[in-house]
């Protein structure tokens, strides 16, 4: 539950292999408050999870101080929440698959063009709830089908 909820939420973007960088991947997670007992016995792994991803060799007892230092630098790339059954239910119901969503990209990163036609943000994948559409929905005419039609 700790690992799943630290990496899964409808507001956490994911990236394709082409777009992924260490920094984008490390910040595609969130800190979750787990109460005093959870925080103490699990050595800050949920409350300071983003810092753990960015600097994995920092000893757990320095994570809170490091988190306080980096949160202002991360801006919107930093997310936090709580560890609860309600959040687990949200993740299970709204995070079954991912796809591109330009509207959510614009909401999260701002507009997708600088004005000169060049991209200023990565193409992200966002969690979606419910059953994923069949593959043929997304791949109406793939390069494989084109090559197959040329052969036949």
- Residue-wise pLDDT for 41-90, tens only, equals 889 889 999 999 999 999 999 999 999 999 999 998 899 999 999 999 99
State which residues form the domain around 114: 2-151
Alpha-carbon span 11 to 111, nearest angstrom:
17
pLDDT for 72: 96
pLDDT higher than 90, residue 106: no
pLDDT higher than 70, residue 11: yes
* DSSP 3-state of 128: strand
pLDDT higher than 80, residue 17: yes
Top pLDDT among 7 and 114 is at 7
Domains identified in the chain, total number: 1
Residue 1 · residue 88 · CB < 8 Å? yes
Residue 120, CA distances (Å) to 4, 73, 115 in order: 30, 19, 10
């Amino acid at each position: 539950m700790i690992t799943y909820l630290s990496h899964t939420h409808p507001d956490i973007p994911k990236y394709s292999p082409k777009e992924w960088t260490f920094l984008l991947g490390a910040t595609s997670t969130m800190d979750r408050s787990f109460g005093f007992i959870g925080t103490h016995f699990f050595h800050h792994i949920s409350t300071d999870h983003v810092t753990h991803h960015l600097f994995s060799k920092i000893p757990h007892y320095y994570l809170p101080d490091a988190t306080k230092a980096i949160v202002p630098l991360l801006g919107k790339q930093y997310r936090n929440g709580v560890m609860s059954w309600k959040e687990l239910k949200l993740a299970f119901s709204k995070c079954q698959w991912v796809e591109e969503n330009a509207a959510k990209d614009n909401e999260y990163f701002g507009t997708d063009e600088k004005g000169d036609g060049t991209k200023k943000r990565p193409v992200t994948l966002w969690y979606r709830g419910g059953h994923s559409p069949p593959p043929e929905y997304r791949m109406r005419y793939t390069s494989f089908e084109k090559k197959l039609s040329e052969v036949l």
